[in-house]
Each structure stands twice: as C-alpha cells, then as structure tokens.
Structure 1
Amino acid sequence: MTSTSTKPHDLQSLDTMTGGAFTAPTSGERAQRIRDWLAGNPAPEQMQEVFKELSGRDKGAARLLREKLDELKRARGQEAIAAEWAQKAEALLAQPKLNIADALAWQRDAAKAGAPLSREPLASFKARLAERVKGIEDLQHRAQVHREAAVLLAQRFEVLSTKGWRDAQAAEEALRADVTHWQQQAAEITADGNWTSLDAKFAPQLESSKAQLLVVSDAFHQALGQTVAAAEDAAAPLPPVPVWADELRVARGGAPEAAPPAPQKPPAPKVDPEKRAAAQAAVEAALAKLEQETAEGHGKGSAGAAAALRAVLKEHGKMVDAPLEARVHAALVAAGELEGWQRWSADKVREDLVAKAESLLKRPEGQALGGRKMQETLRSLREQWKQADQGGVPNHALWKRFDEACNEAHKVVEAWLDKVRADAAEHRAQRLALIEEVKAWAEAQAGNTDLKAYNRALHQFADRWRDAGHVGEKVFVELQPQWNAAFGVARAPFEVAQKASIERRQAMIAEATELGAAPMLRIDAVKALQQRWQAEAQTVPLDRRQEQKLWDTFRAPIDEAFNRKTADREKAAAAMSEHDRYVLDASKALEAANATGDAQKIRAAVARLEGALRGEAPPPAPPAQKTAAADGPSVGATEAVAPGQAAAEFGESAEQVPASGDAEASPPSAAAEAAAPTPDLVAPADGADASARTDAAEAEAEAEAEAPPAPAAPPKPAPKPVIAVRGDDRPGNKKAEAAPMGRGNSRFGGDRRDSRSGPPGRAGDRAGPGAGRFGDRPPREERGPRLGDTAFRAQRDALERAEQALRKLAAQAHGEALTQVLGAWEQRDASKLPSVQELGRAVTPAVRGQWSQALTSGPSAKADDAAEALLRLEMAAEVPTPAEQLDARRALQLKLLTRRGDPAPAQTWGQDAGTVLAAAHDAALARRLQNALKALLRK
C-alpha cells in the first residue's frame, strides 16, 4: 500500500525536477526537456531514478539518459585506470635505476588499457618519463663521446712522440690541461643522477678509457722529463722514445741508431679459388640468416643463427676476406646484445602478466569485473603469455604463479556461465510461452474489426519477443522459425485488410487524378473524396512511410488543380482593363490629396474617383493647368469654396457653406456643383448631410422645371436605395440578392403600387420606358463597369482614408473654432469671434450675430440668467453638470416640465450661449461652456 501511494507523488516530483518531461504531450518535447535538464548536470542518482521511470514510457527520451549514464560510467572507469597507471608511473620515477624499456612499456600498456594519456595526471607523468628517458639517452651518448675523446687524446700523445722533443715540450702544458678537463667531465658524467640507469657496460668502458689515458699521459710526461734531463746532461740516459733518443744522439755528435731489419713473413700458401668462393658463399648464407633474425627481433632464432654462423666460421674462417669478416663480427655482436635483451624483456613481460592475473581478485568491490569481462581478460592474459614465451627462454616459476592466479580468477567465470545457462533456459521457456500465447490470441481474434487495436497488439507481441531475454545461438535458431510461423498466422488477417485498403486508396488516387484533370474543379467532390480518404486512414492503419507516400500521391493532382485555378485567377486579376486603370489612377490621386491635408482637394479627388467609378473618362487637362489638375480641383472650384470649409463634417456639400460670416449662403456656382460629390453614389454621413442633399435635389428639380423639356432624352430615374447585404466583397464573387420589400411598407414610397405617377390601373404608366417587370419599379441604376480586385480594393481604401482625413480635419477645425470663441469671450473682443464657416453648420449667421453683439455690449447679463442659460446648455448637450449644480439642474428640469409651450433647450442653445457670453468671464463657467459647446457644435 505504501509503494502504490507514494508512486504518483514520486512521478510528480520527478516531472517537476525534469521540467515536465513526464507530462509532455509528444516524444519530441519529452526528449527536448530531458536535454534541457541534462544540461544542468544533475546528480547520477537522480538520472538513474528518472531513467528507471522513463524507460518504460518513452525509450527515445530514455536513450538520452542511458547515454549520459554510460558516459559517466566510462569517465569513472577512466579515472580508476588513470589512478592505477599514475601509481605505476610514480613507482617508475621513484626508482633510482630506470630502465628505458620499462618507461616505453608503461606508455604502450597504458594506451592499450584505455588510460587517458592526454589528460592529467597521466599527461604530466608521460612528459616526465619522456624527459627522464631523454636524459638517460643523452647521458649514454655523452659517455660514448667521452670514450672517443679519451682515444683522441691518447692519439695526440702518440703523434707527439713521433715528432721532436722540443715540439712535445711546447705542447705538454696544453695536453696536461686537456687531460685534467677530461677527468673533470668524466667525474660529472658519473655523478649524474641517471648514471645508475645506464647499461652496466658503460661504467667499465669509461673506467678503462680513463685508466688507459692516464697511463699514456704519465708515460709521455715521464719520457719527456727524461729527454729534457738527457739534453742538459750528456751523461744522462737517453729516453725510451726512439725519435727523441736519435735527436739527442745527433746533438751529442753521434749517429742515429739504425733500425733493425723487419722480419720477412713466409709467403701464404695459395688457396684454390673454388674453395675460397664456396667458403665465401657459406659464410654469406649464414650471415644473411643471422641478420634477418636479428632485424625481426627473434631471440631464439637469432641465437640459433649465431651458433650456425660460428660453426661455419670455424671451418671456413681462414678463407674469408676482410670486409666479410667485419660484417660477420658486427652481426655476432648485435645478436649477442639482442639475446640478452630478449631474455630480460620476456621476464619483465611475464612479471607484469603475473601481477595483472593476481590483481584480478584483489579489486575493490565496486570495481570487480563481471563474468564476461573476466573471461575476456583471462583469455587476453594467456595470449600475451604465449607471445612472451615465443620471444625468450621459458620461466617455469613465473608460469606456475600465473597459472594459479588465472585458475583462481576463472571461478568467477564459471559462476557467471552457470547463471547464463539458467537464464537461457528461463528465457527459452518464456519465448515458448509467448509463441503459444500468440497462437491462442490469433484464434480468439477471428472476427475482430478494430484494426487499430489489432495492430497495436501485434506491435506489443513483437516488442515482448524482442525483450524476452538472451538465448544462445543454437536455441535462437530453433525458436525463431516457430515464432515467425505463429506471428505470420496472427498477422495474416491484418495484412489482408491492409492490402484491400491499399487497393481502395489506389482507386481514390485515380479519382483524384480525374478530378484534378477536369477543366472545372468540383470542390464538393474533392471534399467528399478527402473525407473518404480520412475515414479509410482512420479505419486501416498502414506503415507510416507507405501511408505518407500514398497520401502525397493522392493530394498531388488536387493541389495541382488548385494551383492552376489560383494561377488563372491571378492571371485574370493581372489583366487590368482601361476602366480599372482610370479608377486606379483616381484612387492614387485621392491618396495624394489625403496626404496634403486639404479638405477642398480631398473632396475634389473624391468627385473624380466617383466619376471614374461611373465609367466617365477623365477630361484632358489644359496645358496651362496640368499641374493644378494633378494637385487638386480646378481654379473655379477653389474660388467657389470658402477657406473655412474644413469645419464641415465629411459628406457636407458645397451648397451649405455661406460665402461670408454674416451674410446668408449664396447659390453655388457651376464649378462648385461640378466639384461636389454626386449624392447618388456617396452615402450620407449623417442626417444633416441627408437634408442638404434633399435641398440640392429640390433646387435641381426646380431648375429642370423652368428649362424647356428635352423630348429626345428619357427622364432620369429615381436613385435606387442602397440596401446593405452581408457576404464576400471580392470581385468575381456572386453577391446575395436582397430580399424584396413588402408592398405595404410605407417607409419606401417608391416601391408601393400607389406611388406611381398615374392612378392605379393605367396600362400606359406600366408600359413606359424603364418600367419594371410589372410596371411598379424603376429601371436599375447604371453603376458603371465591373472592377477588378486591385482597382476595387484601391478605390475602397482611398475612400475610407478620405473619410477619415475629412473627419480629422473637421475635428481640428472644430477645436480651433471653440478655442477662439472662449478667447473672444475672455477678451470681450467680437473681432476674434470665428466666422460662420469656421463654426460649422450648427451655428447660423443670426446666432453668430447675437454672440458678437453680446461680446460688444460688455458684461450686461445677470449672474442668475447666465447660470440658468449654462444649465440649459448642458441639458441640450447632454453633458454632466458639476456636483454643486445638480440641485439647480433638477429644479430647472421641473420648471421646464410646467412650461410645455416653451421651446426646449436643444432649440434655444444658441441664444443661451449668447446669454452666457453676455455675462462676465469666469474660468469655471468657461470650462462648463466649453464642454457644452464641444458637443453642440458637432450636431
């Protein structure tokens, strides 16, 4: 109970520790979170615990942990090996007599054992051993050179003994100094710390060279002293040196002693040339064999070849010439050295093998070798022993120790082999039981239609067979055919279903190819085919690669058809008509006008764009006015519109703006009418614009009534009301038709049957030109040619930006006008009051005149009247009143309720503002007046 209750808590803690690796939705995310967690170098115990829990859930993510744990294990093993070989290196360096072969063998054996020689501390030990070996070799070379120097000094003594004694006397001091210096150097060589590490032959050689040099030096100096004494005293005996004795005899007046005649050697007997050639050939054959064995390093072979060469020399040595004799001597010397070296080297290798075999069972408990590793190590040690026996004389004592250590270590191998046999028998039984389970499961799943669960169970059986444990080669060969047969029988229904599914998918691929090749792509058929494919894929699972390949083949013709359709659409959109170019140029001109920030230019550009939308070609600009036509409206339009027109809202026509601040609005000029936007194509921005367009329409109707009728032109139909519909506004898309309006709806008089020009029932009215299907509707308005996608979007965006720019300009102008009103009130200066155009359409010239008169007359209104007028202004503007004036506002509201005949505050706000302006200026009143007028001037 305790383990089951703590396991969820352990998983939760492990998931928190690993950053959510256990709760990640996909294997890739789990692996990435495990990598991020391992980057922080967690403890090995934590990694082992996470690996134990994760190995059964996600083997891909657990592989990262296993590799990290193996790396740490190898690192610990290398640390142990490094410590072991570091101890051996320290022992070698601590020896007073270091053998070069031992130092070289340490590096070679450490590399074979896998020790990290490139890392500390082995790198420093390697460098120290190399330096020690180099020192020994240098000392050996110095000793040999010093021997040669002793020979050269002795030769100098001999050469001087052949010259005159006076020359010898002159060089005596230099020779004495050289001998002394040679003795000092010899003492330094013998005092070097590496002298004991040299081969034993160098010490006697150097001593013999020293003794010989001293003997020659003493004899030379003694003979020279005797010669000097004989030269000074004629009775003194002559020196033993013949040259000097002859020189002294001549100096005493005698004759030199005649040299005794050289004894004549008896002539050597003549040798038969054939015998000499046979002797030469026999010696050369034995010499070649010896040189080959010596070069290959075979100790036993070189010893036998040397013995054979000595035997040949005993028989044919007298008939061998001098060069061949020198070669024979050098080869025998090399073979003798190699024989001693191989014997010594073989014993050192055997001692190392014995030490390794005895240390196998002396390892710490944590570093003990397993059965397989122990078996491989013992096999390697015995092979190395065989190789050592091939290069030297056998050593039976060391062999006995080595064999006993190996036999003792082999007990671990025997125990491991017994365990392996027991595990193999158990694994064999498990595999046989699994085969029987697969057979029983296959019989039970005869009518199963859930192919996904069927495939999942097959995968689970395959994983269990793969993880069933190790068996021997012979057992595996026996069981594998049985497993293949049982698993094949169980998998046969699934493979049949997969084959049928592949055939169905191939048929759907053929259908997709036909659909893609059709001239008109049927979207409904493509969707239905894709749904069939998805249903098939969810019903019968396939191999991932095969399923992906089939899916790519299936979707290729459909994707190609869609790409072809897209290309055709883009090609059609790219082919821009002349009408689209007119609209696009007008849209660019409107964008340029929007950038200028001039309301007049923006309205003129809007008018040109609307004309282009109706299909009207732009008139050619005169040469003198090309620049003006490109930048904005014509000169006539500029003169007809006042500068303060920026205060008007978007959609306000030029007819509403008066020519001056105090006079009434003048009738519009022809240029202004041409520049004003057509009310049939632009929707009104608010109610004021609608009323303005109504007035303009009435004025136009009166002008047409006064003019003589034109019989040739048909009457202009009434504009069709704009009906908002929802849908896609892309070019080429069929817009939904608006629902027909009811005939009894009084809101649209044009659609009612009784709104026609004649009384109902007259056939002449219905049959007139432009009548609808039943004579009750006017003909459809001509809206111009259809636009392409590029031109449509360009004109739409340009109109939207123009509306925003005009509203922004109107807001700016409105704020400036309100500031000027408050400044004129504060300074009591009527000349600073804005004009009617700047105040906007909400302020009439009469109201502005009243405000100007109130400012001119000075503070004449009473405070109570101004306060009541300010409350009426706030009520008309529907803005909040300060808290201290709420009671007064409620009282005024009750008062207005009793006066039903009086005009409302919304109708008299102009006069109320004049009353406030007639009072004295106050900062609090000015703030309240500003808030009220800000809302009222916009209405």
Structure 2
Amino acid sequence: MTDAPEVNPAPAKAQEAHPLDALTGGAFSAPTSGERSSRIREWLASQPAESVLQEVFKELSVRDKGAARPVRERLDELKRAKGQEVIAAEWAEKAQALLSAARLNIADAMAWQRDAAKAGAPLSREPLSVLKVQLADRVKVIEDLQHRVQVQREAAVLLAQRIEVLSTKPWRDAHAVLEGLRGDVQAWQDQAQGLTSDAAWASVESRFPPMLDASKAQLLVVWEAFQVAITQALAASEDVNAALPTVPVWADELRVARGLPSEAAEAAAAAAPKPARTSRPAVPPELRNKASNIVRQALERLEKETAEGHGKASAGAAAALRAVLKDHGRLIDAALEHQVHTALVAAGELEGWQRWSADQVREALVGRAEALLNRPEGQALGGRKMQETLRALRDQWKQTDQGGAPNHALWKRFDEACNEAHKVVEAWLEKIKADAAEHKAQRLALIEELKAWAQSQAASTDWKAINRALYQFSDRWRDAGHLGEKAFAEIQPLWKDAMAAAAAPLEAAQKASLAVRHAMIEEAKALGAAPVLRVDAVKALQQRWQAEAQTVPLDRKHEQKLWDTFRKPIDEAFNRKSAEREKASAALSERDKVVLDAAKALEAANASGDAQKIRTAMADLDAALRGQAQAQQAVVAASESAAAGAEAAQAAAQAEAPTDAATDAPAADTADGAEAAAAAEPAPAAKPVAPRKVVAVRGDDRPGMKKAEPAPAGRPGRPGERRDGGAGARGPRDDSRPGRFDRGDRADRGDRAPREDRGPRLGDTAFRAQRDALEHAQLALRKLAAQAHGEALTQLLTAWEKRDPAQLPGTQELGGRVSPAVRSAWNQALSKAPQGDASTALLRLEMAAEVPTPAEHISARRMLQLQLLTRRNDPAPAQTWGQDAAAVLASASDPATARRLQNALKALLR
C-alpha cells in the first residue's frame, strides 16, 4: 500500500453533436431509424423554412433515407404549392381582366374555369375561389338580363295582340280600357329602359339588343295607331261631320249610328242589280262562314303546335293566326274570338314550359356524361368510342340550347364531366400521334432500304431472287402500321417511285421473256399443226419453256395463262395421236381375235378349277400364238412372189430397150460381177486360236480348270481378250465380208442361237389378254398342285394311322419324286403290324427336308449328324428319304410323330 493519491484516468473524448441535431429535436443523434423518423415528424409540425428543410434533407438523406422521406415529401409539397401559386396568380390575373372588362363574354367566362382546371390551378383556394364566384355571379346576371329581354319581347307581342283584339270590338269597349292599356304600355317602356340602363347590358349577346328595339318599335307603332283611331272614333261620335276612324269595325259602327249603311251593305247594294231591290243582311252568311273556317283552321294549327311543345312552330302559328284575325276578325262570333285569345295566351306561356323541358333533356345529358367516368374497368370505352360519344353528347346539348334558354349550372356539370372523360381521348390521341410518327419513320427507313437494295442489285440477273425480295418489301410496307390520310398521301408517291426504280430491271426482263414465250407459243402451234408430231422437238421446246420460266418469274395468273396457251396445241396433237392409236388398236385383226378368243377360253378354264382343262386351254393359246408365225410366213412368201414378178417385168423392159441397156452395161456388169464374186467367194475361215500360255493353275476340278485342258477362248472383242495379236485377239476388220452391215447375218453367227420367228406383233388388247390369262393359269395350276399335294399327304397319314394300304395314294398323286419302288415299300410297311423304332428315320427325314426338329430331339439330331460324318461311304439322308419314310410308316402312329412326318414330307414331295 502507498500513500500516493489515486490518479483518475482522463475521460474519453465525447462524440461531437451534429450542428442540425438541436434544430431537429435530436433527430441526428437518435439511436434508431424509427426514433429519427418520429423526431423528424415532430420537427416538421413546427413548419420550418424551405431553406432549412433543404439543408436537413441534404444531411439526413446520406445517413437515413427512410427518415429523410418525410422531409422530401414536405419539399415536394412546397414545390407544388409554389407552382400552384404561380398558376393561381396567372389565372387570377386573367379572371381580373375578364371582370374589369366593360363587356364580358359568357363563353370566355366558362372557358376560363375549364382551362384553369386543365392547367391544374387551385380553384378551391383563394383568390381563385372568390374570382370563380364573381365570374359565376356576373354570368348569372347577364343570363338573367337576356332572359328578361325575351320576356319583354313576349310582353310586347301580347300587348300588340290585345290592341289588335280591341280593334275588332266596339270602339266604346276599346275606349273603356284605354287608360289601363296606356299604363301597361308605359310600364313596358319603363322596364325596357331599365334593361338598357343596366350595367351588364353591354355584356349581353349581340342578338338581344336588336330584338328589344324591334319589339319596342312595333309596340309603339301599334299603340300610336290605336290612340289615333280611338281619338277619331270619339270625335266622330260627337260630330257627325267628323272623319270616321281607320278601323273598319269602328267605322261601320259609327256609320250605323249615323243612320247610314255599312261598307259591306253599300258594297252589296252596289253589286246588286238596280231593278230588284231586296233587303239583305249586313254580313252575308257565306262570307261569315268562310271567315270562321279560315280563322278556325289557323286556331287548330296553333293549338296543335302548342300541345306538342314546338316553340318556334307555335310562334309562327301564332303570327299566322294574328294575320288571319286582322282580315276576318270582324266576321267571327264572340265564342270563336274567345278561343283565339286563349290560344294566343297559351302560346305565350309555352316559353316557360320549353325551358323546363330543355332542362329535363340537359339533366339526362349530364347523367350520361357523368356515367362515362363511373363505368366498370372491364366496360371502359376506348379512345375512339369515347370521342364519338362525347361529340354526340355535345351536339345534343347544342340542339337543346337552340330551342330554349341556357342553364349555366347544368352546363358547368356537363362540361366538367365531358372534360374529365376527354382525358381518355387525349391519351388515345397522343398514342395515335406517337404511333403515327413511329410508323412514318419506319416507312421512310424502308424506302431508303429499298433504294440501297436496288443499287446493290443493279448488276444482278437472279430475277427470281429479285422478284421474291420485291414481294417481301411490299409485304413489309403493307405491315408497316397505320398512317393518317394526309401523311400517307405524302409518303405514298415516294414509295411508288422507289419501288418503280427497283423493279425496272425485272420489268424489262419480264417484257423480253414475254416476247420469247409468245414466240415459243407460235412454235408450239406450228408443231401441233404438223401432220407428223415430232416428239423430240416438243420435248426440246418444253425444256426451253421450263428454262425460261425458271429464269424469269412472272405473275402467277399471267404465267398460268401463257402456259395453258402454250400447252393447248401440243395437247391437242397428242390427243389426236392417242385417238388414232386407240382407233387402230380397237380394230382387231383376225389373228388378234383368235388370240383373244383363246385367252378368254383359258380364263374360263381357270375359273373351272380343272387342271386338265387349264392345260388344254394353255395348249390352245400356244397354238393360236404359233398360228401368228405361220401367218407371217405366208405374208413373207406372198411378198417374195411379188418381188419375183417385179424382177421379171424389169428384165422384159430391158430386153425391149437395147440401147439403154448397152449404155448402162459397164456399170451394171461391174456391179453384178462384184455381187456375184462376193456371193461365190467362200467366207474366210477363222484363224486358229493358239492356246494361252499357262501361268498359274488352280488346284480344283472345275470344267476347264484341269492342267491338261486349256481355258476356253473368250468371245472376240470382249473384255479380257488380248489385243496384241496373240491368242484370242480380234483379227483385222474385214468390211468386204458378206452381210457386214446386214442385221440378218446375226442368225448365222456361231456365238448366238437363232431367234425364233414369233410372227407379227400382237395388238395391245390381245397381248394383255393372253399375258394375263397365262399368269392366271400358272397361278391356278400352282394352287391346284398345292391342293393335290396336301390331299395326297393327308391320305398318306390317314392310311398310316388306320394301317390301311388301300388308302395309300397312287404314284401320280404322290408326285414325280416318289418312284413306284418307294410306293411299294410304303405299301408293304403299311400292310404289316407296327414294329421298330422310327426316331432315327424321322431325324434323317427332317435332315433331308431341312426342316426344324422339336427341341427335345435336337441333341439326338446333332449326335446323328456327327455319326454321319464318320460314315463316309453311307448314302446321305436326301438319297434314302424314301426308305426312311417306309421305316416310319412301319412303326406305330402317334400325333407327335405324325406331325413331324407331315412337316418333312411336305417339303420332300414337292
């Protein structure tokens, strides 16, 4: 122990904290990733500045990307917000420009909202939300003002109708309602003035101000004329000398009040004859009925159009009714007048009904447009179908707007749904545009490839390969994808020019080939028309055609037509030749008929199954064939006699002309002398052939191979003979010997037997008939022989089994291989009782017949073969099979032994 104070070791250096650790609440010093993410989220709740966020993300993303993800998301959100602020400011400026303009177009206001939504502007946040409401209110005010203009127009029409109706009633009734009507007219003018003085009047559509002005001018004209007419009627009622009003009904009323006839009565009185003065009613019934019918027809038309809801048609029908009422209103009764007034009022109320009906149609269109967005995934419409559907919906909306006042709220919903659904169309259009650009590039590259290929194949003459390559280029062009009409019209001429330039050499070669083929067709026609068909020329011409067809290819249909044209005359010539041959073969000669009858008789004998008849028929057929040779000899004899007669006639002619004979005597004598000398001279004797010198001798005893016998000389001129003049060499060529070039001397040669004279050649029918008959006869004889052999063998086995010599077949039935001595030995063996062992005899029979031995007796057969090899002087089994069979027949019969004997004798008795 020591009293020295204890020295404490120096503390370890503490890890320095990150500069941003305190700012982020210890996110950098947190031990785990989960804690870092939790502290980062708590720090983000304090809404830090963007610069600080970027710095923290830069440092934290290196250490922990998972914890840095919320920071990156906040940065992206700020970036989007900043971008939306820029977009919001841009569209807010546009909205302010629309609101500050003196005249606001409704279409521009609606387009602002649609385009802003497409651009991604935040319409739900200020200031765009406020501007959107302001624009909507401004549009609503304008639409309301336009609607009021339409109402004022209809009100003006109704006021004018009231004034017109009053002009058909008594003037006192019209004077009674004058003050009320004046108040209504003044109220209408005040309302119209209020419309024009409205601040939004400059923003209404251009068609509404002229509409209001026209209605105002028309109403004022009617009202002023009505006031003047009332004033005149009042003055005429007080003063009989005052002028009557211009209204016909009022003028007639005042004229009647003064005691004067009405205009209608005066006209009727003027038209009536003077002598016959009869009193007539003021208005004739015919005229009143006619007027009532005309007004009723116009009224029915108006009521029909009003009931069907046709706005424009009802307005036209109302105008027509008012025009008819002007001419005939004074002639109708009060009930019809009341119906007319009620119909005119109903036609004025139809405007409200039309607006309601149009809104119903618009709501249905909005539902269909919104349904496009909510379709199931499997039933979604494609780009083209969506485009056509949207176009149809917008056309229907336009038609609905033409028949009634617009509805901004429904239009807003409809437009938003259509714009959202149009995104599918935009994606489809972009895809089509990209595909079209790609297809166009592929086609341009294909054109350049075709041009390069054409330059590389300029010197080639392999027309089949060129034609195949051109077809491949055409297929690739056809499969290069879809292009628009305009783009295809631009690029198609380039392709045609390149294809024409590439196919020009081939087309020239095809043109030349066509000329060659047409020339060969003419040559084929000449060959076909010739009296004698030259088969070799036809074959050569066909080979030339095939060579040309293989060299230069043509269109398949055209080439087939040319080939048919080329083949037709040759086929006709061959058909004529075949017809002639068939005709000649059909005409059988007498000899052919005899042979054909003999062949038919042989076929009948074959069918009978009698061997004797078959052999007889075969002999008859052979005799018929030999009869042909006899007939040929008769023909040759007849020709020789004819030749002798011709020589006698020639000798007589020479005797009558001595001068000519003397002139030609030297040459004739020379020729005859040479022929006589050649005939009298004996044939040169063959030179003795010296035997060849033996060089090596084989040690066998084959004929001609013994040492004392020389090898037979070969045929002169055959392979292996010597050509050096030695033994067997061919002598010098002697062209002077008789018959050197005559084929008839072959019969006199010693190296070949004379050919049998078989007579003239049979016809095709007779030859085939006799050949088939002989084949069938031979087959039938073989079959009968096999049957007879089997029957004889069966009888032999039966006689052995029953030990009955009487059942033993005869020598003829057993065949030529069984001699009478062998049959007698078999007969003796069957006559005695069974004795002895037949095993060795059976083995010898199987060895002689070369048939297999049962497996249990194979060892005995091998032992017997070894014993036979040691007995050199004993006869072979093939020589003693008859005695072996007798030994077997002398033994007892059993099924196994009988089977072995049957197999052996089946081969030996054949």
For the pair shown, which has the larger CA radius of gyration, 1 or 2? 2
